Amino acid sequence: MLKVIIFDMDGLMVDTEMISFQCFQDLIRSYGFDFTKEEYMKSYPGRSLQTSLRYIRDHYQLDFDIQEKMQLFKDLEEKYINKDGVQLKKGLLPLLEYVKSHHYQTIIATSSHFDRAIKILGPYHIMPYIDNIVCGPEVQHSKPFPDIFLKACEKLAVHPHEALVLEDSEAGIQAAYDAHIPVICIPDMKYPHDDYIKKATRIYSSLEDVISYLENNS
């Protein structure tokens, strides 16, 4: 029996992936390298900031302090958010209202820090719909490892087969698959490769479609 809906945040609940791309692009271009959306979509969505910065350092053979660049990234992100804002993804509020009215438990599983999640979601009054949150620093391994989704189940005292993950990234699909939790993908910047489509329960174009799934599988 389905009891819990696990929400990814970036790219799933809020439209932040383009902002993340711009921040990484600014960082990488500062070292004289070009950086395209295709490169971003291939290796970055769904992964923690720390993991991505380590990848950049190794991939471009750079020498920098991870903590220093994490602060730079946060400063860049704040600049872009203050300039253009962050939009909720289509269908999020109707889905949250449906889930709450049908007594599902809800939890956000995000690779980011708690303060960032609250800062982004707070202005939209999302948190009253959410029962709990698990953040990247709470687990040892970030997506595509299953740790964060297993931690989400642990926090709400349910078995993985009693949960459903909503994700936008290939890393998130893999993490849910390895946690043995059904996963619905709502692609953001990149449609998943065939290998990941096979691991997803459904691929939908909008969060609104999840309501029909829940109605048909309750």
**Burial class of residue 207, CB neighbours in 10 A (0-12, 13-18, 19+):** buried
Q: Supply φ then ψ for residue 113, to 5 degrees.
A: -85, 155
Cα–Cα nearest to 186, from 160, 209, 206: 206
What is the predicted pLDDT for the residue at 22?
Answer: 93
For residue 185, list its beta bridge partners.
167, 203
**Angle value at C-alpha 56, between 51 and 59, nearest 5 degrees:** 115
What is the predicted pLDDT for the residue at 217?
Answer: 85
What is the predicted pLDDT for the residue at 44?
Answer: 87
Q: Which domains does the chain have, with CATH numbers?
A: 4-15+87-216 (3.40.50.1000), 17-84 (1.10.150)
Q: Provide the terminal-to-terminal Cα distance of the chain, rounded to the nearest Å.
A: 8
What is the predicted pLDDT for the residue at 6?
Answer: 98
What does the pLDDT profile of the chain (218 residues) look like in tens digits?
999 999 999 999 999 888 999 999 999 999 999 999 999 988 888 788 899 999 999 999 999 999 999 999 999 998 988 887 789 999 999 999 999 999 999 999 998 889 989 988 988 999 999 999 999 999 999 899 999 999 999 999 999 999 999 999 999 999 999 999 999 999 998 899 999 999 999 999 999 999 999 999 87
What is the predicted pLDDT for the residue at 43?
Answer: 85
d(CA 177, CA 109): 15
